[in-house]
Amino acid sequence: MTNKFTRTFAAALAASLIGVASLAAPATAGGQVSVSYTPTDPDQQQALGLGLSMFSLFNGMNSTGANISQHGNGNSAGGSQNGSGNNGVIVQEGDGHTGTIHQNGNNNSCGLFQFGENTDAQCSQNGNGQSSLTTVFGF
C-alpha cells in the first residue's frame, strides 16, 4: 500500500511540475493552474487521509475538523462539515486567495493548497471515506 501510494504520489508530483514548468505566460497575464488527485482505491484513500492528518498535526493543527492557515493579504477561507472524523485542510500562501471545503459524511479528508496570488478553489465531498488533494498556483 505505501509503496503503491509513494509511486502514485511521485508520478502526480512529477506531472504537476512538468505542467507548471511548461507554462509560458507573459508577466502581465493572470490565471491559475491546479492539480488534483483523488484516489479510487480504498487503500490509497486511507493513505492520503493519513498523510493529510499527519500534515495537520505537524503544522500545529487538529487531525480532524476544519483547519485553515493563511499567510498573505486579502485571503478568505471557510468550510462546512456534517458527519464525524472529517479532516479539511486549507493552506493559502500569497495574496487574494479564496478557498472552501464542504464535507458531508464520515471520515473524509481533503487538502486544498493555494500559492501565488488570486486563486479560487473548492473541495466538496459527499459520502464516506473519501480523500482528495488539490494544489493551485496563481499568477
Asked if the structure places residue 114 within a domain, the reply is yes
Asked if the structure places residue 22 within a domain, the reply is no
Asked if the structure places residue 23 within a domain, the reply is no
Q: Is the pLDDT of residue 25 over 90?
A: no
Query: pLDDT > 70: what percent of the chain?
Result: 79
Asked if the structure places residue 20 within a domain, the reply is no
Asked if the structure places residue 9 within a domain, the reply is yes
Asked if the structure places residue 106 within a domain, the reply is yes
Scanning 22-128, the segments in alpha helix (DSSP H) are 42-58
Asked if the structure places residue 21 within a domain, the reply is no
pLDDT in tens, 83-137: 999 999 999 999 999 999 999 999 999 999 999 999 999 999 999 999 999 999 9
Asked if the structure places residue 48 within a domain, the reply is yes
Q: How far apart are CA 22 and CA 84, in angstroms?
A: 41
Domain count, the chain: 1
pTM over 0.85: no
- Name the residue with higher pLDDT: 14 or 115: 115
Q: How many CA atoms lie within 13 A of 83 on its CB side?
A: 20
Q: How far apart are CA 6 and CA 54, in angstroms?
A: 15
Domain holding 50, by residue range, is 2-14+33-138
- Band of pLDDT at residue 20, cut at 50, 70 and 90: very low
